[in-house]
Structure 1
Amino acid sequence: MQSPKTSTVMKWLFGQLRPYKSKVVFAITALIIGAGAWLLLGQGIKAVVDEGFLANNASKLDQTMFLVMGIALVGSIAAYFRFYWMIWLGERVSADIRQKVYGHLLTLSPAFFAKTRTGEVISRFTADTTLLQSVVGMGLSMGLRSSITFIGALLLMLFSSPMLTLYVLIAVPIVLLPIRIFGAKVRLYSKNSQDKVADVGAYVDETLHEIHTVQAYAHEKIDKTLFRDRIESVMAAAHFRIKYRALLVACIMAISIIAITLVAWVGAQQVLSGELSAGELTAFMFYAVMAGGAVATISEVIGEVQKAAGASERLMELLNTQTSIESPPSPVALPNKISGQIALHNVSFHYPETDAVTVIQALNLQINSGERVALVGPSGAGKSTLFQLLLRFYDTTSGQITLENQDIKSLDVSALRDQFALVPQESVIFASSVTDNIAYGRTSATQLEIESAAKAARAHDFISELPEGYQTNLGERGVRLSGGQKQRIAIARAILADRPILLLDEATSALDAANEQHVKLALEELMKNKTTLIIAHRLATVINADRIVVMDKGEIVAIGTHQELVESNELYREFAQLQLVS
């Protein structure tokens, strides 16, 4: 895919300032006043030299010195407001972009995260937006100020000496040449460098999240080596960016200094011949130095802008990524209270990234309101995938899934998911309090309701023993809890959510025998009057299900009660003999 032009990228970036027009105007006004004040200093210096020193007029010298200080004071006050508002705008734009990117990321389907490393996304989300903050806050300010300074200095130089100004203008196209040549290179290598930094972020994220496995296998030395290789890759990518940016700055400085020196020499000749006063030459050179400094600053800003263009392009890629799961324009409304009737009609599915491998094939299944249906079968049979299809994390490749006789694709995605309470095999615990974790699916719940759900999940006792009880922060991914405790928190979350359909994916797999019995009782209470789908590898947990669906290689091979399947299905009979016969 062809990269957008720098102008397109920067138009998008600076377009983020649109909601803050009044503050932009205020900042630019302060910037113009400040730049004008510094330009007026040249006239003050001219007056000091011609009317003070050379005229030997002490009174005039005093007046002009006070004038110069007054101009400097105005410039300083204007600089305060310019600096404050431009930095604020940089922070605000960065914060807005982060909100937009995060909000968009939450809408993307699991298919996106299956092929994109989380650490890379985080790098774009943090490092790239920080870079944009710097460019909008400082780069834009410096660029505008330098542009105004350059134009103003050029006009005042023209007023002082048109001939010398003509010589200066001859150098301007020469200065723009390296900007044209090296600017595009800086952008290209900046994007490459940011990509390498994102790869480092992804690697750090992965290894630190799996630190137990890293240390258990004594993999630290290997990871250090692999990390060093990635850092060196970052340095290699940065080398070219730094090289071209340094060339850009050096060429502009060299051309500017040579031009100013030659013009100063010509001006000195004119002073000696009486064509120009010493004050006029001093003012002219003051403006020439200001113009040269402005050009050098603009070249620096262009380097930063090219770098920001690379970062902006990466963020635009994220924002332009389309989710594969969307609500229809006019979704069908579900009744306020649904019965929980689900049907699968000839459903087939393969994951987008593995087109050749069909995970589910031609499934037909009717699940009645309030029914408990267990899904059993070997690993890879498609049981967990079926849950993902019900929740519309993915869409079926062919066939149809209905809820209350409505195709789930015709429903609003959020409204659909509001009907399900999920207890996954690997319990998800967030780095927040116990209360927040249990109330995750129903944030309006009272503390009494939260504690009641915890008691039903047999979690209240161990929660009460935590240092701050229900306000204890559980740490990243629940590191302070055991596997069984995490699962009971997840079950309490599902109990509190109180949704008409339960999806239990090995909901008791991490519990010891005593706790499993307690949680089974809690789940029995929870499943009353609810449609429940249970994935289980241990048949003892699903023997009393209304129906057991046996799956193998993405197909339904048998449906029945435990006793019926023991008698009629060989695969199920093998499971039963291995697990239930002592």
Structure 2
Amino acid sequence: SLCLVGEMAIPYYTGRVTDWIVTEAGTPAFQKALWMMTVFTVSSAVTEFVCDYLYNTTMNRFHTRLQSTVFGSILRQEIGFFRASRTGDITSRVTSDTDAMSEALNQDLSLLMWYLMRGVFLYGMMLWLSVPLALSATVALPFIFLVPKLTGKFHQNLAQEVQESLAKANEVAVENFEAILTVRSFANEGGAARSYEEKLQETYKLSEKEAVAYAVNMWTSTLLGLALKVGILYYGGRLVTLGQVSSGALVTFLLYEMQFSTAVKVLLRIYPSVQKAIGSSEKVFEYIDRMPKISPSGILAPQDLKGHMVLKDVSFSYPDRDNSLVLKGVSLELHPGKVTALVGPSGSGKSTIVALLERFYEPQKGQVLLDSRNLQEYEHHFLHQKVVLVSQRPVLFARSLHKNIAYGLGERSREEVSQAARQVGVHRFVARLSHGYNTGRDHCLPSFPSHDPTSFQLIKPVQVVEEDISHQIPQRLCWPLGTESGKGLKEILGAHFSLPSCLAFPYL
């Protein structure tokens, strides 16, 4: 407000100086006006600097919190959400859409707020100087704001379509990068490039339509702004001729009118960009507001968990395949202190049983019980500390081996991490690496001996090491099964490690 007052004062004192020149007023009055203009100019510049600094700092913080909120909301969704949604779509919402939204808010919204307040103050001063001139500008305002609103809505819809098309193109790129071995083995690099080019062409066609809509919106805004300026200048000249306003008031009003026209022009130019940001933000807030389609976790965290797991008459189908039952009336019991091997051909539902025991999904029928209590009654972190999946195909995150081993456990000492690695037989391998436990993922993976499947198999037990070292998967549970079958161990689930219930899936 102080900045606006300073800017409003400059045209006002310019008009006063004009009146004093015409009426041949004394030098003191003239000097006083110049001093007031100087004071208001400096004050306006200082307050504008402070406002810009505070606003940009706030918007940068908002951008960081927005991306963090969207990412956290997506992580809370059920596993079925990730099966039904493309990775490119999800990634685009977290990165591209939030960036576009924050950039528009940081720049365009700032200008929109600034020139909106500026226009209000200017119009108030115009009314104070000459009501007839101000009313002549008011007559044109409905046309100036209505037409851009209609074209801006059309532009907003096209902007959303462009974002969705770009997400589909990103998905094609991601799936080809992830399946690069398949692409290379079929010598289909050209086909992959063509499929990506086709998606880009679809995006390009939508972008052309968006560009036309934007140009129409800008042309309409410019034409209406010019018409407003010419009309007010013409009517103002008539009033001067009739002697209804003084020369100083006329100069002041003309300066206000020029600034008002600029404010209106900027508002009309920025409004479509803000509309575009709104279109990009719809999916972002849809993800933020989305509630997971799975029962919320409970608060149960008993100290004396035995590890007795039961699948009772379970029927289940994946969310994206509701009509195809993977499990139908399956019952299974895991006893503490025993290893249970579940053997079956590919696609028979072995991995699905593990997903249900891990509570990645909930069965459509039946119950999954741990110590006679439904899994949803247990606290989320407690459950996944006690029910742990060990995969032959582990995921290494972009961090050091030390942090990968202690993943999900917070800060752990090097002694605890190395002791866990010794338990599963990978300490010697890690010790041979150039940076030991500080080795990053990219330097670690090429060092794994590809001919030894247990090297990959055994890194996962280290990743899921329990907070209590006594709760680690014993090495003797992994190696005998793998060596006997000659093909390695696919998955092991430990329900409790002090009295372990273990479900093993050897390859057939």
Q: Indicate whether the TM-score tops 0.5.
A: yes
Distance 1:500 1:153, change over 3 A: same
Distance 1:149 1:448, change over 3 A: same
Distance 1:355 1:55, change over 3 A: same
User: After superposition, what is the alpha-carbon deviation per residue over 1:80-126, rounded to whole angstroms, capped at 9, x for unaligned?
Assistant: 12211222222222222222222221211110000101221111111
Letter aligned with residue 281 of structure 2:
S
2:45 to 65, 76, 81: 76
2:135 to 166, 189, 212: 166
Contact 1:34/1:79 (<8 A) preserved = yes
1:428 to 374, 395, 398: 395
Letter aligned with residue 336 of structure 1:
Q
Distance 1:479 1:284, change over 3 A: farther
1:493 to 463, 481, 486: 463
Question: Offset of 1:165 from its aligned partner?
Answer: 1.4
Distance in 1 of aligned mates of 2:361 and 2:85: 16
1:364 is paired with a residue of what secondary structure?
strand
Question: Offset of 1:273 from its aligned partner?
Answer: 4.1
Deviates more, 1:236-245 or 1:98-107: 236-245
**Structure 2 equivalent of residue 258 of structure 1:** 227
Distance in 2 of aligned mates of 1:196 and 1:476: 36
**Structure 2 equivalent of residue 182 of structure 1:** 151
2:234 is paired with a residue of what secondary structure?
helix
Deviates more, 1:58-67 or 1:363-372: 58-67
User: After superposition, what is the alpha-carbon deviation per residue over 1:407-443, rounded to whole angstroms, capped at 9, x for unaligned?
Assistant: 2233333332221221123211111100011111433
Contact 1:326/1:413 (<8 A) preserved = no
**Structure 2 equivalent of residue 128 of structure 1:** 97
**Structure 2 equivalent of residue 112 of structure 1:** 81
**Structure 2 equivalent of residue 466 of structure 1:** 433
Matches within 5 A, 1:84-99: 84-99=53-68
Letter aligned with residue 190 of structure 1:
A
1:221 to 152, 166, 190: 190
Question: Offset of 1:394 from its aligned partner?
Answer: 0.8
**Structure 2 equivalent of residue 239 of structure 1:** 208
**Structure 2 equivalent of residue 333 of structure 1:** 300
Distance 1:153 1:213, change over 3 A: same
Contact 2:112/2:267 (<8 A) preserved = yes
Matches within 5 A, 1:25-424: 32-52=1-21, 55=24, 61-327=30-296, 331=298, 333-424=300-391
Distance in 1 of aligned mates of 2:472 and 2:280: 44
Distance in 2 of aligned mates of 1:493 and 1:301: 50
Distance 1:44 1:73, change over 3 A: same
2:425 is paired with a residue of what secondary structure?
coil
Question: Offset of 1:477 from its aligned partner?
Answer: 10
Contact 1:441/1:496 (<8 A) preserved = no
Distance in 2 of aligned mates of 1:54 and 1:244: 53
Distance in 2 of aligned mates of 1:348 and 1:141: 55
Distance 1:528 1:175, change over 3 A: closer
Distance in 2 of aligned mates of 1:315 and 1:182: 23
Structure ranking higher on relative contact order (CA contacts 8 Å, 6+ apart): 2
1:353 is paired with a residue of what secondary structure?
helix
2:503 to 520, 533, 536: 533
Distance 1:139 1:332, change over 3 A: closer
Distance in 2 of aligned mates of 1:380 and 1:165: 77
Identity of aligned residues (%): 23
2:361 is paired with a residue of what secondary structure?
coil
Distance in 1 of aligned mates of 2:171 and 2:411: 35
Distance 1:265 1:394, change over 3 A: same
Distance in 1 of aligned mates of 2:161 and 2:424: 50
Distance 1:169 1:479, change over 3 A: farther
Distance 1:180 1:420, change over 3 A: same
Q: Quote the RMSD (CA, aligned, Å).
A: 3.3
Contact 1:420/1:499 (<8 A) preserved = no
**Structure 2 equivalent of residue 449 of structure 1:** 416
Distance in 2 of aligned mates of 1:270 and 1:409: 79
Distance 1:349 1:315, change over 3 A: same
Distance 1:416 1:222, change over 3 A: same
Deviates more, 1:96-105 or 1:365-374: 96-105
2:331 is paired with a residue of what secondary structure?
strand
User: After superposition, what is the alpha-carbon deviation per residue over 1:231-275, rounded to whole angstroms, capped at 9, x for unaligned?
Assistant: 222232233333333322322221121221122122223334433
1:357 is paired with a residue of what secondary structure?
coil
Matches within 5 A, 1:16-31: none
Distance in 1 of aligned mates of 2:301 and 2:244: 89
Structure 2 residue ranges without an equivalent (≥5): none
Distance 1:432 1:51, change over 3 A: same
Distance in 1 of aligned mates of 2:478 and 2:24: 95
1:362 is paired with a residue of what secondary structure?
strand
Distance in 2 of aligned mates of 1:503 and 1:365: 23
**TM-score, normalised by the number of residues in structure 1:** 0.78
Distance in 1 of aligned mates of 2:130 and 2:444: 71
Distance 1:33 1:215, change over 3 A: farther
**Structure 2 equivalent of residue 565 of structure 1:** none
User: After superposition, what is the alpha-carbon deviation per residue over 1:119-138, rounded to whole angstroms, capped at 9, x for unaligned?
Assistant: 21111111222222223323
Contact 1:171/1:256 (<8 A) preserved = no
**TM-score, normalised by the number of residues in structure 2:** 0.89
Structure 1 residue ranges without an equivalent (≥5): 1-31, 539-582
Distance in 2 of aligned mates of 1:264 and 1:210: 66
Letter aligned with residue 60 of structure 2:
E
Question: Offset of 1:305 from its aligned partner?
Answer: 2.2
Contact 1:449/1:496 (<8 A) preserved = no
